[in-house]
Structure 1
Amino acid sequence: MSKLSRINMLQSFAEQEPENPFNWYALALEFQDSEPDKASILYHKLLGEHKGYLPTYYHAAAFFSENGSIDLAKKTYEDGIALALEKNENNTLRELKNSYQNFLFENDMED
C-alpha cells in the first residue's frame, strides 16, 4: 500500500470515527516527515482533545523536540510521564522517562 493510499484511508477512518484517537495518531505519524505542519496540528489536536491517549506523548514530544519546540517537548514528556504514572503503565513510563532523560541531556537541561 502506498503512503498516499494509507493517508487517504486513515483520513477516511478519522472522518468516520473522529472520537477514536488512534486514527488521528496514525495520521500524525504518517505526516511527521513529509508534512510536519500537518503532523503538528494533529499532535496538538490529540493532546487537547484526547489527553488520555498515552501513545501520543512519546511521539509528539520527540516530534516537537526535533522541530525546535523545546519547551513544548519538555511539557509533553512531563505530561506523558504523569499520565503513565496515573494509569500505572510501567513499560510506557519507563520508555517516556528514558526518552525524557536523553532529551534533557541533549538540550543541556536539568530535571
Structure 2
Amino acid sequence: MSKMSRIEMLQSFAEQEPENPFNWYALALEYQFDEPEKAASLYHKLLNEHKSYLPTYYHAAAFFAENGEILLAKKVYEEGIVLANEKNETNTLRELKNSYQNFIFENDLE
C-alpha cells in the first residue's frame, strides 16, 4: 500500500469516526516527516480534543522537540507523565519519564 493511499484511508476513517482519537493519531504519525505542519495541527487537535488519549503524548512531545518547540515539548511530556500516572499505565509512564529525562539532558534544561 502506498503512503498516499494509507493517508487517504486514514483520512477517510478520521472523517467517518472523528471521535476516535486513534484515526487522528495515525494520521499525525504518517504526516510527521513529509508534512510536519499537518502533523503539528493533528497533534494539537489530539492534545486539545482527546486529552485522555495517552499514546499521543510520547510522539507529540518528541515531534515538537525535534521541530524546535522545546517549551511545548516539555509541557507535553509533563502532561503525559501526569496522565500515565493517573491511569496507572506503568509501562507508558516509564517510557515517558525516560524520554523526558533524555529530552531535559539533550536540551540542557533544569
Fold match, TM over 0.5?
yes
Structure 1: distance between partners of 2:36 and 2:108 = 25
Check if 1:6 corresponds to 2:6: yes
2:40 aligns with 40
Q: Percent identity?
A: 82
1:99 aligns with 99
- Which residue type is aligned with residue 104 of structure 2? L
- Displacement of 1:96 after TM fit? 0.1
Gaps of 5+ in 2: none
Structure 1: distance between partners of 2:40 and 2:108 = 24
1:72 aligns with 72
SS at match of 2:30: helix
2:19 aligns with 19
- Displacement of 1:24 after TM fit? 0.1
Q: CA RMSD, aligned part only?
A: 0.3
- Normalized against structure 2, the TM-score is what? 1.00
Structure 2: distance between partners of 1:71 and 1:105 = 14
1:28 aligns with 28
Residue deviations 1:19-43 (CA, integer Å, cap 9, x gap): 0000000000000000000000000
- Which residue type is aligned with residue 48 of structure 1? N
Structure 2: distance between partners of 1:106 and 1:18 = 36
- Displacement of 1:4 after TM fit? 0.2
Gaps of 5+ in 1: none
SS at match of 1:34: coil
The number of residues matched between the two structures is 110
